[in-house]
Every structure is written in C-alpha cells, then in structure tokens.
Structure 1
Amino acid sequence: MKYLILLVMVLAGIWWIRKQRPDHKSAQQSKPSGPQAMVTCAHCGAHVPSDDAVAGQQAVYCSEAHRQLREA
C-alpha cells in the first residue's frame, strides 16, 4: 500500500512540474499555418515556400548555395 501512495505522489509531482513549465509551442508557431505560395528553384527545380526561398538577381532559388552556383 505504501508503494501505491508513493507512486501516486511521484506521478502527481511530475504532473505538477510539467504544468508549471511555460508552453513553448505557441512561440514556435510564429509562421502562418495556412497554405503558402510555392516557388521553383531555378537550379534544381525543387519547390519551396516563398518565405524560405532565396531571391537572386536572375531568379529564385531554394538555398544560398544554389544561388551562388547559378549566378557565379
């Protein structure tokens, strides 16, 4: 019986500690959750969200490395 009470106390303590921690999920969801416009990388043809795309002088790329390869 004493082990059952100890188990309940430990679980209650864990629940209380987790309840006291700040919720980081709301801070991570700063980007809009709706649909986003997609663009095609001029180097490899990959489709990336327009917010994550790298704009070059000639076109749009999926990464800075592809921009440098294409426009160098």
Structure 2
Amino acid sequence: MKYLIWLLIVFAGIWWIRQQRQTPSDDTRDQTDKATRPGGPQVMVPCAHCGVHLPKSEAIQGTQGLYCSEAHRQRQEG
C-alpha cells in the first residue's frame, strides 16, 4: 500500500512538471511576439563615419551617406 502512495506522488510530480514546461498556446505566443517585436525586422545600415549599424529609420541622412548621429554627420561632411 505504501508503494502505491509513493507511485501516485511520483506520477503527480511528473504530471505537474510537464504542465509547467508545456509550450504556451498559439494565442498567448502571438501576444508575446507582438509585445516584444512592435515593428518586426528592420533594415540595418552602417554609419558612414564610424561604421556602427543602426536601423534605417533612426539614421540621419547626409549628402555622403547615412549617419548614426548629427555630430558624425557634421564631422564627416565638414
């Protein structure tokens, strides 16, 4: 009888662990993806002065290329 009780406790523990590790449903996963990636993938461009890559939407347009900051644009273009 005591082995039966231990066996039930072990099975209950395994069931509980599997429930905790189960992947979230599609609805929950979609909501999480939308929260972490608001705009999706973006095009990355290098700064013409220092070479650091940044999203194209955040780059500053100059006559000789794209820059990561106004200071780099002024320094490169004079």
Q: TM-score band (shorter)?
A: 0.5 to 0.7
Distance 2:39 2:58 in 1: 14
TM-score w.r.t. the length of structure 1 is 0.55
Gaps of 5+ in 2: 1-34
| SS at 2:58 equivalent | coil
Q: How many residues align?
A: 43
Which of 27, 32, 42 aligns to 1:36? It is: 42
Asked if residue 46 in structure 1 is aligned to residue 52 in structure 2, the reply is yes
- The runs of 5 or more residues in structure 1 that have no matched partner are 1-28
TM-score (norm 2): 0.51
What root-mean-square deviation, in Å, do the aligned CA atoms of Structure 1 and Structure 2 show?
Answer: 1.8
Q: Considering only CA atoms, is the larger Rg found in Structure 1 or Structure 2?
A: 2
* Cα distance in structure 2, aligned partners of 1:40 and 1:64: 14
Name the one with the larger helix percent: 2
| Runs of 4+ with deviation above 2 angstroms | none
Q: Distance in 2 between matches of 1:37 and 1:60?
A: 13
What percentage of aligned pairs have identical amino acids?
Answer: 60
Helix, strand or coil for the counterpart of 1:70? helix
